[in-house]
Structure 1
Amino acid sequence: MTTIEIDHASRWFGNVVAVNDITMTIGPGVTGLLGPNGAGKSTLINMMGGFLAPSNGTVTLDGTTIWRNEKIYEHIGIVPEREAMYDFLTGREFVVANAELHGLGDQEAQEALATVAMEYAQDRKISTYSKGMRQRVKMASALVHQPTVLLLDEPFNGMDPRQRMHLMELLRRMGDEGRTVLFSSHILEEVEQLASHIEVIVAGRHAASGDFRRIRRLMTDRPHLYTIRSSDDRALAAALIADPSTAGIEVDISEGVLRIQAIDFGRFTALLPRVARAQGIRLLSVSPSDESLESVFSYLVAA
């Protein structure tokens, strides 16, 4: 039961705070590290993998400090996001080189390549690989020593649907075996399909933690902003303003739109068409104004 403990960890670069006082525990199973681009996910993974020292706080593996502790690599496999690789090597040569760093050889390298379905291209130079193929050969090199902990930074980038499904199944299987698997993503659907537990970070801060249902509920229950165009904005505003599902309504005459803040998402989405029909008002367009991941996660930070 291998566990990574992050205890009030921060990391700053000069005046820039990349990770701000984060505490979390990553245990066996598949955990998704979810957040928009630039949230600090890569910095956090680099601290868990021993590539960066925390500026403050601690990051430990089963109670042992990770930073400057080469023995942790007997237990950890890492798939970084960045593309820097030895392009002049073949895929097999790259994985064998990583196997030899662990005192292993060609047999273990072949098994790892088979695990990620890369035998067919193992004798081609990495310089000829697509992004998805590069991701898979990095995965093979991380798995060559059968680690109990696997850290993956945006592993699905560049993969086609078939490759994505294959990797998801592999990670699920590893989680079911009791390994500790953490992968980062900025795509909610990837995390929903794969992770049994989710950690959300935004702007370097820990925003939420729990299973997918809890995180989805937090996101759904936040205030939603809508821009509506109708055949009679004033009459629609008057009909909606008294309902407790709305917190504020603005009639923008210059743009000919209605802006509504809904605080009860489920009630409002049922109310709007019913009120419009009862009042004989045609809804010309209804569009959310704040559906970016950044706006969703920023709400979680403030909640």
Structure 2
Amino acid sequence: MSVIQIEDVSRWYGNVVAVNGITMTVGPGVTGLLGPNGAGKSTLIHMMGGFLEPSSGGLTLDGKPIWRNPSVYRHVGLVPERESAYDFLTGEQFIVSMAKLHGLADPGAAARRAIGRVEMEYAAGRPVGTYSKGMKQRIKMASALVHDPAVLLLDEPFNGMDPRQRLQLMDLIRQMAAEGRTILFSSHILEEVERLATHIEVIVSGRHAASGDFREIRRLMTDRPHLFALRSSDDRALAAAIIADGSARAVRLTDQGLEVETTDFARFTRLIPQLAKKAEIRLWELSPSDESLESVFSYLVGK
């Protein structure tokens, strides 16, 4: 069970600050690194992999420094966003060469196992230059898996994949997380992170904006109302009861039921069943209507 610890890390290029004072911990399971394009995700991932020196701060893997520590590479697999394979090599030749660089005892066998995990056996004998974007992403994934690392760092791994390829890779990431690996993947696509990650780190403009389960993050946003959708046996009477109680910021009656805004998530969810029972109203539906990652992300970017 490997853990990456990031302590007050910054990275700048001249006068441009790409990453600014980030502190976070990445442990076993699937962590989604979310942020808009240009937020600093790739820079942070390259520092986590030991390929880029932090301008300040430090990064460790299981307590050992990552920068200028080649032994880290035995435990980390990196899938960069940019292409990283020679087009004239076949897929198998590329993965075998990666296995040899890691000094594996049987490079051929290791390459075949890695290629099999990403379901690329059918194209292993073809030059990488003939691959589609999605196929190149999968062969890069094989290169990251060839030495069976405990940590996987995946930078926008789903770029260019068709829906079937995306589902296959999601299943593979879940399997590897179940094996106890530490997996971090970056994305600017909200749906990918919401479906796959059990923990989320949000970066906006190079800064660490939020951390945790996206619903927990959303509930910590006390300065913005939470929006609920309600349906009941008597929506008008329920709306009157909510307004009389003063627990909501706004109540709207729609064709689908009630929309209620409240700034106190916990109090409202405890109170609404009591109000309905007291008014002898049957609740049919009570659900947050802005509990999506997109709502969280839009709020954080707009802060």
TM-score tier after normalising by the smaller chain length: 0.7 to 0.9
Instruction: Give 3-state SS (helix, strand or coil) of 1:127's partner.
Output: helix
From 176, 186, 196, the equivalent of 1:194 is: 196
In structure 2, what is the Cα distance between the partners aligned to 1:161 and 1:221?
A: 38
Q: In the alignment, residue 146 of structure 1 is paired with which amino acid? A: D
In structure 1, what is the Cα distance between the partners aligned to 2:225 and 2:214?
A: 19
In structure 1, what is the Cα distance between the partners aligned to 2:209 and 2:85?
A: 33
Check the 8 A contact 2:95/2:146 in 1, yes or no. yes
Deviations 1:81-125 (A, max 9, x none): 012420110111000000111122101100100000000000111
Q: In the alignment, residue 208 of structure 2 is paired with which amino acid? A: H
Deviations 1:54-88 (A, max 9, x none): 10100111111111111001100000001242011
- Against the structure 1 CA distance between its residues 219 and 184, is the aligned structure 2 distance closer, same or farther, given a 3 Å change threshold? farther
In structure 2, what is the Cα distance between the partners aligned to 1:151 and 1:220?
A: 33
Say whether residues 1:103 and 2:110 are aligned partners: no
Instruction: Give 3-state SS (helix, strand or coil) of 2:21's partner.
Output: strand
Shift of 1:223: 6.2
Count residues with an aligned counterpart. 247
Deviations 1:200-221 (A, max 9, x none): 1100000000113213445797
Check the 8 A contact 1:36/1:294 in 2, yes or no. no
Q: In the alignment, residue 56 of structure 1 is paired with which amino acid? A: S
Instruction: Give 3-state SS (helix, strand or coil) of 1:83's partner.
Output: coil
Say whether residues 1:298 and 2:293 are aligned partners: no
Say whether residues 1:81 and 2:81 are aligned partners: yes
Shift of 1:10: 0.4
Q: Which residue of 1 aligns with 2:214?
A: 212
Shift of 1:173: 1.1
- Against the structure 1 CA distance between its residues 86 and 292, is the aligned structure 2 distance closer, same or farther, given a 3 Å change threshold? farther
Check the 8 A contact 1:245/1:265 in 2, yes or no. no
Deviations 1:10-51 (A, max 9, x none): 000000110000000000111000111111000000100111
Deviations 1:210-245 (A, max 9, x none): 113213445797369xxxxxxxxxxxxxxxxxx963
Unaligned 5+ residue runs, structure 2?
227-246, 251-260, 269-293
Say whether residues 1:157 and 2:149 are aligned partners: no
Q: In the alignment, residue 58 of structure 2 is paired with which amino acid? A: T
Q: Which residue of 2 aligns with 1:124?
A: 126
Deviations 1:105-160 (A, max 9, x none): 10110010000000000011111110100000000010001000000000011111
- Against the structure 1 CA distance between its residues 217 and 159, is the aligned structure 2 distance closer, same or farther, given a 3 Å change threshold? farther
- Against the structure 1 CA distance between its residues 149 and 119, is the aligned structure 2 distance closer, same or farther, given a 3 Å change threshold? same
- Against the structure 1 CA distance between its residues 157 and 217, is the aligned structure 2 distance closer, same or farther, given a 3 Å change threshold? farther
Check the 8 A contact 1:33/1:200 in 2, yes or no. yes
Instruction: Give 3-state SS (helix, strand or coil) of 1:298's partner.
Output: helix
Root mean square deviation, CA, Å: 2.6
Q: Which residue of 2 aligns with 1:142?
A: 144
Q: In the alignment, residue 144 of structure 1 is paired with which amino acid? A: V
Q: Which residue of 1 aligns with 2:173?
A: 171
Check the 8 A contact 2:217/2:296 in 1, yes or no. no
Check the 8 A contact 2:225/2:249 in 1, yes or no. no
Q: In the alignment, residue 65 of structure 2 is paired with which amino acid? A: T
Say whether residues 1:245 and 2:241 are aligned partners: no
In structure 1, what is the Cα distance between the partners aligned to 2:42 and 2:24?
A: 15
User: Matched residues, percent identical?
Assistant: 68
Say whether residues 1:60 and 2:60 are aligned partners: yes
Instruction: Give 3-state SS (helix, strand or coil) of 2:38's partner.
Output: coil
Check the 8 A contact 2:218/2:296 in 1, yes or no. no
What is the TM-score of this pair, normalised by structure 1? 0.75
Shift of 1:295: 4.2
Instruction: Give 3-state SS (helix, strand or coil) of 2:46's partner.
Output: helix
Q: In the alignment, residue 72 of structure 1 is paired with which amino acid? A: V
Q: In the alignment, residue 34 of structure 1 is paired with which amino acid? A: L
Moved over 2 A (4+): 215-224, 243-246, 262-267, 291-299
In structure 1, what is the Cα distance between the partners aligned to 2:35 and 2:221?
A: 13
Q: Which residue of 2 aligns with 1:48?
A: 48
In structure 2, what is the Cα distance between the partners aligned to 1:113 and 1:68?
A: 30
In structure 1, what is the Cα distance between the partners aligned to 2:202 and 2:118?
A: 28
In structure 1, what is the Cα distance between the partners aligned to 2:299 and 2:167?
A: 27
